[in-house]
Structure 1
Amino acid sequence: MLVRTSGPLTLLRRFWHWPVRIAAAAFLLWYLFLLIMPAGNGQRVYGLTVPKGAGLGSVAEELAQQKIVRSALHLRLVARLRGLDRAMQVGDYRLTDAMTPTQILEKMARGETDARRFTLPEGYSMFQAAELLERAGIFKKDSFLVACRDTTLLSSLAIPAPSAEGYLFPGTYLVGFHTDERALVTEMVREFRFRTASLLPLVDQSGFDLHQVVTLASMVEREAVSIEEMPLIASVFHNRLRIGMPLQSDPTAIYGIRTFGGTVTRSDVQRTSPYNTYRIKGLPPGPIGNPGLEAIRSVLHPAATDYYYFVARKDGTHQFSRTLQEHNQGVQRFLRKGKKRK
């Protein structure tokens, strides 16, 4: 019976594996340590913006330079091992050095941005937008209004007016912590351009320029309660403009003074203002709010009517009239004494 003994080569092979195993174990421990332990204690905070098309490599290098993670290489390795290397979503992220690489990667993979949401309802003016932004703690009211009146910015956005009123498209926007007032105005105007691009041929056929269309649409938006009535209200304004009759739109009488709540007083309609269509003929010099698409479409496609008047019923809808006599009967029926509503 032969007994095999370990020769020198066999022993060398056995001992050769021990350094490899030790190194592998050390690497595993190092990986687990970096995976579990954050780079700091949370005192370092960094706002990371991930733009469209950004790769994980550049993001990892940026976070390593800002000492949010210990190693760009390790962050990429963790991402590869966890299958998150291609899951990063665009957005603004507020990260701290107390977060582990896994937490950072998962936050970006889920798209849990730290941008704040801002919603501008249809018809709201830039003054109301400024108040909403200040109330949400995003921007100061006055600073946003300064951006809306920035002549250099308005020129770059091709707005032929002293402010961006009317061109701040209603909707919901994500305001990142790197976004300033000018950037938000720019984004809202660009959204307006994008959403109205298909309507430009109709604008050319309307007999109005775009600024006039938006101005008239802002009045329709303020007057209407329902989308269904917008073409009817637009038809009244079109009919009045055609014969040179004052538009007498209540919201124009108080633009820039207070928020339109559906009711104006006699002193309101008698106030001297370049926007008050009780005192001026034709359109005001610019929009009195920021209309939505339906209001703009109603100006470009008004109903075919011979209405020249409308008055609000108690339920918010309107009675439309052809003659002043019919209109006065509606006023007596629906309006309280001492107040005037269009």
Structure 2
Amino acid sequence: MKTIIKFKQVVIVLALLFFILNFFLFSYGQKLLGPRLEDNGVENRIVEIKSGYSLNRIVDKLYEEELINSPLAFKLYLKLKGKSTNLQAGYYQLNPTMSTIEIIDRLIKGENAYYRVTIPEGATVEEVSSIFHMRGLDRERFLEVAKNIDMNFLENREDLYYNAEGFLFPDTYKIPYGSSEEDIIRIMLREFQKKIRDLEEGIEESEFSLHQIITIASMIEGEARVKEEGPKIASVIYNRLDRGMRLQLDATVQYALPQRESRLLYRHLEAESLYNTYRRDGLPPGPINNPGIDSIKSTLNPVETDYLFYVARGDGGHIFTRTYQEHLEVQRGLR
């Protein structure tokens, strides 16, 4: 009887020790697999996992970046789950407050990090290139791609400054880290295609080609400081084209100049460029900026007027007139 009691006691003690050991192992494992830091104010880090990295190299990199507590625990967890070869290359946004399990999950799913970039309406290709240059991209390479890129809706002509001008749709983009200059331009061109899908019927019914429509829209974007005036400015452009008058738009002169001027002088209007509508008849060879959707809609839906001129008021708006005499009188009244 005593032997049985002692055996039961030994079993209880062993079970207790086993429980305590498992508890400590579990707690220790949780600590090793837990977050490196508890402070939620820690900034995210962008970590690049290159194609061809071995598991050891990935683990070493994460440990050097102080993102995981234990390289051994990281590898053991992966092996236990049978996912040692499932980690994907890419750029990842990681944080020391993330657990090892969360980091592993992100690397297995290939959840690449991205950054946000806002391209304002009316920005030129060169201005867009400067925005991305601030993100570390090669400005000259960006311009080279924008000049020569070929897609089925773009016109590839020598008289264009950039094939992509007018078609880099202004918007806020989520750009995956590691994207090349060409990747980014193609992302923006595809966004343009997506955004004008609802306008395809109007474009097909127009007497102008898509390239000409975007050229006109870019001039409206460059001239209109008040969005509501877009359809009126479109009307002036069409009226002048119908009468064989030169467009004489300041925005085209700005595009023709080596750098933007705060105020155009008469000498600037003499700039020798196919884009200078003070010296050239008809439309310029192509767009002079990347217009927003409102300017494209204004191009397709101008109001019917007999306006041929407009003068800036100084508050962003314009006064529209029908005759050159009225135009001169408005100018005198604004001096």
Please state which band the TM-score falls in when normalised by the shorter chain: 0.7 to 0.9
Structure 1 residues 228 and 37: alpha-carbon distance in aligned structure 2, compared to 1, 3 A threshold = closer
Which residue matches 1:184? Answer: 184
The 5 Å alignment of 1:55-204 reads: 66-67=58-59, 68=62, 70=71, 71=74, 74=77, 92-95=91-94, 99=96, 102=99, 105=102, 115-134=114-133, 136-149=134-147, 151=148, 154-156=149-151, 158-161=153-156, 162-204=162-204
SS of the residue 2:199 aligns to? helix
Distance 2:295 2:46 in 1: 45
Q: Verify the 8 A CA contact 1:139 1:181 in the aligned structure 2.
A: yes
The Cα shift of 1:305 comes to 0.3
Q: What is the deviation of 1:290? A: 0.3
Q: Distance in 1 between matches of 2:308 and 2:79?
A: 68
Residue of structure 1 in register with 2:288 after alignment: 288
Amino acid at match of 1:47: E
Question: Structure 1 residues 299 and 142 mapped into 2: Cα distance closer, same or farther (>3 Å)?
Answer: same
Query: CA–CA distance in 1 between the matches of 2:209 and 2:174?
Result: 31
Aligned to 1:333: 333
CA distance in 2, matches of 1:296, 1:210: 10
Q: For the residues of structure 2 that align with 1:8 and 1:249, how far apart are their CA atoms?
A: 103
Alpha-carbon distance in 2 for matches of 1:77, 1:262:
66
> Any gaps of 5 or more consecutive residues in structure 1?
39-43, 50-60, 79-90, 336-342
User: How much does 1:140 deviate?
Assistant: 3.4
**1:32 Cα shift?**
3.0
Unaligned runs of 5+ in 2: 37-44, 63-67, 82-89, 157-161
**Partner SS for 2:274:** coil
Q: Which amino acid aligns with 1:127?
A: E
In structure 2, relative to structure 1, the CA distance for the partners of 1:264 and 1:290 (3 Å cut) is same
Q: Helix, strand or coil for the counterpart of 1:142?
A: helix
Q: What is the distance in 2 between the residues matched to 1:312 and 1:168?
A: 28
State the Cα distance separating 1:209 from its structure 2 match.
1.0
Deviation by residue 1:77-121 (Cα, 9 ceiling, x = unmatched): 99xxxxxxxxxxxx953448xx3651783897xxx9864332211
Rounded Cα–Cα distance in structure 2 between residues aligned with 1:93 and 1:297: 39
Q: Calculate percent identity across the aligned residue pairs.
A: 34
> In the aligned structure 2, how far is the partner of 1:204 from the partner of 1:182?
29
- Contact 1:35/1:100 (<8 A) preserved: no
TM-score (norm. length: structure 2): 0.76
Kindly tell me: are residues 315 and 259 of structure 1, through their superposed partners in 2, closer, same or farther at Cα, counting changes over 3 Å?
Answer: farther
Letter in 2 for 1:31: G
Alpha carbons 1:157, 1:186 under 8 Å: kept: no
- Residue 34 of structure 1, aligned match among 23, 32, 40: 32
Cα RMSD, aligned residues only: 3.5
Q: Give, in whole Å, the separation in 1 of the partners of 2:180 and 2:327.
A: 48
Letter matched to residue 6 of structure 1: I
- The CA distance in 2 between the partners of 1:196 and 1:309, in whole Å, is 29
Matches within 5 A, 1:265-276: 265-276=265-276
Q: How far apart in 1 are the matches of 2:101 and 2:243? A: 65
Mapped partners of 2:46, 2:119: distance in 1: 30
2:15 matched residue in structure 1: 17
Higher deviation after alignment, 315-324 or 66-75: 66-75
Mapped to 2, the partners of 1:123 and 1:271 lie a distance apart of 21
Q: CA deviation at 1:129?
A: 1.4
The amino acid that maps onto 2:48 is G
Change (3 A) 1:23 1:173: same
Contact residue 169 and residue 292 of structure 1 kept, 8 A: yes
Q: 2:44 aligned with 1:46, yes or no?
A: no
Distance 1:306 1:37, change over 3 A: closer
Inter-CA distance 298–259: structure 2 relative to 1 (3 Å threshold): farther
The alpha-carbon distance between structure 1 residues 72 and 322, as it changes in their structure 2 partners (threshold 3 A), is farther
Q: Whole-Å Cα distance in 2 between the matches of residues 220 and 62 of structure 1?
A: 54
Cα distance, 1:34 vs. partner? Answer: 1.2
Structure-1 separation of matches of 2:190 and 2:75: 36
Normalising to structure 1: TM-score of the pair? 0.75
Give the equivalent residue in structure 2 for 1:263.
Answer: 263
Distance (Å, rounded) in 1 between the aligned partners of 2:270 and 2:231: 28
